[in-house]
Every structure is written in C-alpha cells, then in structure tokens.
Amino acid sequence: MKSLALHWKILIGMLSGVTFGFIMLEVGGADFVASWIKPIGTIFVKLLKLIAVPLILASLIKGISDLKDISKFASIGLKTIIIYVLTTVIAISIGLILVNTLNPGDGVSAETISKLTETYADNSSVQGKIAEASRQQASRPLDFLVDMVPDNAFSALSNNKLMLQVIFLAMFLGISLLLVGEKSAKPLKDFFDSLNDVVLKMVDLIMLTAPFAVFALLANVVVSSGDPELLYALLFYSGVVVGGLTLMVCFYLVLVSVITKRNPLWFLKQISPAQLLAFSTSSSAATLPVTMERVEEHLGVDKEVSSFVLPVGATINMDGTSLYQAVAAVFIAQALDFDLTFTDQLMIVLTALLASIGSAAVPGAGMVMLVIVLESVGFPADKLAIGLALIFAVDRPLDMCRTMVNVTGDATVSMIVAKFEGKLHTPKSKEWDDHLEEVK
C-alpha cells in the first residue's frame, strides 16, 4: 500500500510541477522558479548521486562475494551483455522503421529550419556537444577498456562519471574476496553487507522527498523550455520518437510476460517510481539507487544479479537513447535533403550501438551520440550545428522520455537474467520505518 501511495504522490508531484511551471511561464515567474523552486530538485538529484557510488560498490561486492562460484558471475555477465546488445539493436530498428515510414522531416518548412538555425545553431550547448563528439571520435579502439581500469581507487570513487571504473574496482574486490577464503573475507564482507543495508535505507529516506523534488524539477523544465512555437513545429518529429519509445516499452512488457511469467502491469506498477524519477531527472545514473531498490525489493531479483546488471545497464544500456538516435539522424537528413542509402542506415544501427556503450548516463549525452552517428554516414560537417539546432528545442523533454525507457530496459534485463540464473524470487519489500521502534 505504501508503494502504491508513493507512485501516486510522485505522479501528482509531476503533474503539479508541470501546471505550476506553465502558470509561472505565463506570469513571467521564471526567475522565481529558478531561485526558489529549482534548488529543491537540485538537492534531491545531488542526494541520489551522493549514494550512487557507495551503493554500487557495496552492492556489487556483496553480490559477487555471495556467489561462492566465479563461473556464475561469468554466466551473469555474458547473458547481460548479449541481452543488452540485442535489445539495443531492436530499439534502433524500431526507430528506423518508424522514421522511414512516417517521414517527419519532409514536413518541416524552410521557414522553420531558418528560425531554428538562427535560434540554436550558435548555442554554446550545441557547440559543446559537437566538440565532445570530436573528442570521443579521436579515441583509439581499445581506449574504452583502458578507461575502465582506474589508477587511483579514491579518484574513481569521487567521480560519478567514472561509473565503469567503480564497477571494475567492485568486481576486482568481490572476486578477490572469494579467493582469500571465507575466514579472511568475513570482516570485510560484513562491512560491505552493512554498508549496503545502510545505503538502501538512505534511498528510502530520500524517496520521502521525491514528490516535492519532481514538482521542482518539472516546474523548472517547463519555465526553461524556450519558444513554444518552435516546440509545436517539431511536434510530429517528437510524436515519432515518443511512439517508438512506447513500442519499446511494449516490447519489454512482452519479454517480462513471456520469459519471466510475471504480469506486465504488475511489473510497471513496481518499477514506476524509478521510471518517474528517470523522467524527472533525465539521468539513468541519478536514478540508479532507486532502480536497484525497486528491482531487488519489489521485483524479486537477487542482489547477485541486480548489483551487476543495473550499474552496467545504467552505463552501457541506452535503448531509448539509441532509438532516438535513429529517428533524429534520419529526421535531420530528411529535413536538410541529405539522402541516406540502405548501407547508411545499417551504419546508423552499428554506430548507434557502439556509441551507446560509451555514452555517459547523464542529461544531454544523446546529443553527443547523435553527432557521432551523423558523421558516420558522411553528413556534412558544416551542417552539423544546423542539424542539432533542428531538434535542440525538444531535446530535453525527449531526453526525459528516453531516459525512462532506458531505466525500464535495465529493470527488464535484470529480471530476464535473474530468471535464467534461477535468482528471481518472491519480492520482499522494506520500508524506511521498519526499525523505527528500535531507536525510539
């Protein structure tokens, strides 16, 4: 009952935030929102990021050390990577089929292109995305493996952007704990077990403020959304993206029903708080602590599976973002009369897949991926800024939608892997006040 109440409280907070944001936009209250409302959401996101690294470290070390068998960890890892790759390819394919069928770029007028270009082409954020994409493309083929290995544990733990390094460190520690024997490992294992419980309790406490936080986050998104006329001009394109994302969620529900034999509506109900937070924050990494709590306690996935699948998913599984890449790339090509061959579209599938693996789980990373995808099909460099300008106005709301799909995909894959490994059990949820009587 508490879980259901949380779901509705967050949803009410979101709707209230959007309504309040539109009212403030009409009366010119953007400065009031930025000064007095936005900080509430910012603090909430910072709290989630604060506990993300300790949670991954403690949870993954506990999960691996509880396995008692390294071969099981290898099995979980292999299944996870294969399923993530397959779902990403399917997401990109859905996007390409929709955008080639509906052709949203053909309906964009020259006047709209001119206005969007004038408004956003020289935007510092757009230029920054192009520069970041160039930096990523300049890296060597195996640089991503080099970047996964930290040279300083404390440096890796102090930077949320180095999530893969934290995962590597946790895996290394967890495997080493298995190899030193149970007697020597027990003190350190007990420490990480206790740390894991404490951090999960912190998640419960932070979630008490979630309805107020999403109100603040959504209100700020609305008042900073820019020119409404430009948003309306891109409504068809946005509809294609959202339609593709909806189909992807339906695909997840089919997987949940067929493979795990669980009710898909029950699945949506249990994971909905994480979905709503992903929508509000536009960050898989910030939502990760909540996703882990929902998957473990409300979906019944054992920690041995969730502690690996979810952090890896938050880093490399970008199904929603990859689908968006496919639609956005073809939309831009259609609007600017750049012909894409069948080979070019296959290249989009491959590049979007590879780019998703290295993409950061933070707001706006999808735009960087898009530059890489466009350049892979020979899109003119001098038109990249114009191409990004075409979709920049609606990037943030679409980013919110695709992040929600990314998180849903992470939860789905964790359930599938758990089912294959015999690690899916009856959920046993905990509440923030379970031990309150003990400290009164």
- Identify which of 407, 433, 414, 409 has the alpha carbon closest to the alpha carbon of residue 273: 407
The pLDDT score that the predictor gives to residue 362 is 46
- Identify which of 313, 341, 330, 316 has the alpha carbon closest to the alpha carbon of residue 373: 330
Helices (H) and strands (E) counted in the chain, each on its own, are 21, 0
- Identify which of 203, 239, 281, 251 has the alpha carbon closest to the alpha carbon of residue 408: 251
Radius of gyration over alpha carbons of the chain, in Å?
A: 22
The pLDDT score that the predictor gives to residue 1 is 38
The pLDDT score that the predictor gives to residue 160 is 84
C-alpha of 174 from chain center: 25
Q: Which residues pair with 301 in a beta bridge?
A: 424
Q: What angle do CA 146, 147, 152 make, to 5 degrees?
A: 100
Token pair recorded at residue 111: 């006047």
If 0-12 CB within 10 Å is exposed, 13-18 middle and 19+ buried, where does residue 393 land?
Answer: buried
Cα separation, 67 vs 199, in Å, equals 21
Name the residue type at position 417. Answer: V
pTM: 0.90
Cα separation, 182 vs 189, in Å, equals 9
The pLDDT score that the predictor gives to residue 234 is 87
The pLDDT score that the predictor gives to residue 361 is 46
Token pair recorded at residue 194: 């206790």
Q: Which residues of 375-388 are buried (b: 16+ CB within 10 A; e: fewer)?
A: bbbebeeebbbbbb
The pLDDT score that the predictor gives to residue 108 is 81
The kind and range of the H/E element at 422 are: none
Could you list the pLDDT tens digit for every one of the 440 residues in the chain?
344 578 889 999 999 999 999 999 889 888 999 999 999 999 999 999 999 999 999 999 988 888 767 778 889 999 999 999 999 999 999 999 999 999 998 878 888 888 888 888 787 778 887 877 777 766 776 777 888 899 999 999 998 888 889 999 999 998 898 888 888 989 999 999 999 999 989 998 999 999 999 999 999 988 887 667 677 778 999 999 999 999 999 999 999 999 999 999 999 999 999 999 999 998 888 899 999 999 999 999 998 899 999 999 988 888 998 999 899 999 999 999 899 998 999 999 988 887 776 555 445 567 878 888 898 899 998 888 888 988 988 888 999 999 999 999 999 999 999 999 999 998 877 776 676 677 66
The pLDDT score that the predictor gives to residue 226 is 65
The pLDDT score that the predictor gives to residue 132 is 74
Q: Under 8 Å CB-to-CB from 67, ≥6 apart: which residues?
A: 73, 178, 304
